[in-house]
Structure 1
C-alpha cells in the first residue's frame, strides 16, 4: 500500500483509510479499545480527533497506528 491520503472516522469505532493509490480499507478498532495501548480511544472525543501524516493515523496522547500495522489488522 502507498501513503495514507485521507481517513474518515465512522460510527462504532470504524476508521476508513484511503490511500494515494485509490484503494481504501475500513478497520474496526473495537477489539483494540480494550488493550492498554488504545484504551484512551474509548473516549469518543479522542477517537474522533484522529489525524494522518500519510504514514500513520495519530490520535492525541501519542497514540498511533502505522500503515504496516493497518495492513496486518485487515489481513487477520
Structure 2
C-alpha cells in the first residue's frame, strides 16, 4: 500500500491534473464561442431594427414634406 502512494501522486501530477486543465480550458473556449455567437445574433437583430426605424422615419418625413412643406424650417430654426 505504501508503494502505491508515490505512484498515485505521480499519476495525479502528470495525467489527471493536466487533463483537468485541458478540459476546463476547452470548456471555457466553447463557452466564449457560444457567447460570441449570441452577441452576433443580437447585433444583427439591432441592425435590422435600426434599418426598419430609419425607413419609417424617412417615410414620415416624405409624408410631412408633401403635407406640410415648411415643417423643417419651423422645427429646426
Q: Which structure shows the higher helix fraction?
A: 2
Which of the pair has the greater relative contact order for Cα pairs under 8 Å at 6+ separation? 1
Q: Which structure shows the higher strand fraction?
A: 1
TM-score bin (small chain): under 0.3
TM-score (norm 1): 0.21
Which of 1 and 2 has greater Rg? 2
